Amino acid sequence: MVSCSGEKKGTVAEVPKEPPKFSERGYTTSKAYPATFAEENFDAWKREIPQIEKVSITSSADGKKEPALFYNSGTETPKPLLVMLHSWSSEYLQEVSIPYAEWCKERDWAFIHPNFRGTFEKPEATASDLAIQDIVDAVNFAKNNAAIDPSRVYLVGSSGGAMTALVVASRHPEIWAGVVAWVPILDLTDWYKFNLYYPDRKYNRQVEASLGGVPEPDTPAFAEGKRRSPITYLLNARDIPVFLAHGMQDVLVPASHSMRAFNILAAPADTLSQEHMKYIDQKKELPEDLEGTTEDPYFSPTDPAVMFSRESANVKLVLFEGVHDMAYNPTLLWLNEQKRR
């Protein structure tokens, strides 16, 4: 492990005697899970977690009722709350989130999977003010309907969900004990420019629909894109433990989005250079002169191979051998050690 400055503010919680054995179930990542990111089925949730419920949460912003999935064992002992966010093109019944609810069932955590205005293709979705408030309202719903330990409220997302997780963490840092963002989008306007090279993809049409137009510089749509992007707020999350992870071969969101997010939260001496980030984006490999480690205590041999790991202040960055993906065990084992002081 490289020596990095800053003091980690999370405190170690009780570590489970056995790690979650998702590998024994035939998967360790969302790509290996026996359902795609697009598949949504409440029956699949009920098969794995019979106590999970569909609930309706009234927005404190506009009064609209948004659905969510909620799990609570009913025990009265204060417990952690895991808030899991769906990704860009799916909604709250997204099946690849089921393993997180399985962990919560096995360890008596509460779990909530809010809809936050659904797929990212309309103005009220895509990290809008309404969507952010939906997530805050989901936390408050859980606190009102379960015995929640307020020092152990956790947030997880991947892709568009990771983008939203970083926004809500930055705008409401008082809530969270730990935040995990897999393959996040840091800046919607930059990602829009990147997708111009891939005109067959649907994402830019969805971005335009969400922002009210093409996000060209000096336009209202561009300003709206910045307002919905983590890059605008992320420095506000500097006191929260944040875990960023990105696949080196990701062709949907360049790995530099996670690296740039790391640079915002890290001590200046520990940031990655523009040259290194550009090299990684272009070559999909590490430059020889980049100092780091390939060891990480939260990744087992069945998880994606760690190519680079660095910690600084309250932020952790992992670049792994893989694509647009997330791994369950590292997420949950790391979160389990985080606690607000």
Q: How far is 9 from 36, CA to CA, in rounded Å?
A: 36
Q: What is the pLDDT of residues 18-52, one digit of tens each?
A: 667 788 888 999 999 999 888 999 999 999 999 99
pLDDT digit string (tens) for 279-311? 999 999 999 999 888 889 999 999 999 999 999
Domains of the chain, with CATH numbers? 22-187+229-335 (3.40.50.1820)
pLDDT of residue 2: 35
pLDDT surpassing 60 at residue 184: yes
pLDDT value of position 7: 38
For the segment 61-85, what is each residue's pLDDT rounded down to a tens digit? 999 999 999 999 999 999 999 999 9
Pairing of strands 79-84, 110-114: parallel
| Cα distance between residue 206 and residue 26, in whole Å | 34
DSSP letters along 192-221, please? HHHHTT-TTSSHHHHHHHHHTS---TTSHH
Q: Is the pLDDT of residue 178 over 70?
A: yes
Question: What's the pLDDT tens digit per position in 124-173?
Answer: 999 999 999 999 999 999 999 999 999 999 999 999 999 999 999 999 99
Residues 6+ apart with CB under 8 A from 18: none
Query: What average pLDDT does the structure give for the chain?
Result: 93
In the chain, pLDDT over 90 holds for what percent of residues? 89
Q: For residue 329, what are its two tokens?
A: 């065990």
Structure tokens given for 207:
């971005």
For 203-216, the pLDDT digits (tens) are 999 999 999 999 99
Average pLDDT over residues 182-193: 98
Rounded distance, CA 103 to CA 93, Å? 17
Place 198 in a pLDDT band, splitting at 50, 70 and 90: very high
Query: What stretches of the chain adopt beta strand conformation (E)?
Result: 53-58, 65-71, 79-84, 110-114, 148-158, 178-182, 242-247, 306-312, 315-320
Instruction: Report d(CA 89, CA 165) in Å as an integer.
Output: 15
- Token pair for residue 237? 């999350």
Q: What does the alpha-carbon distance between residue 300 and residue 234 come to, in Å, rounded to a whole number?
A: 29
Question: Does residue 318 have a pLDDT over 70?
Answer: yes
What confidence score (pLDDT) does residue 18 get? 66
Q: What would the mean pLDDT of 230-235 be, rounded to a whole number?
A: 98
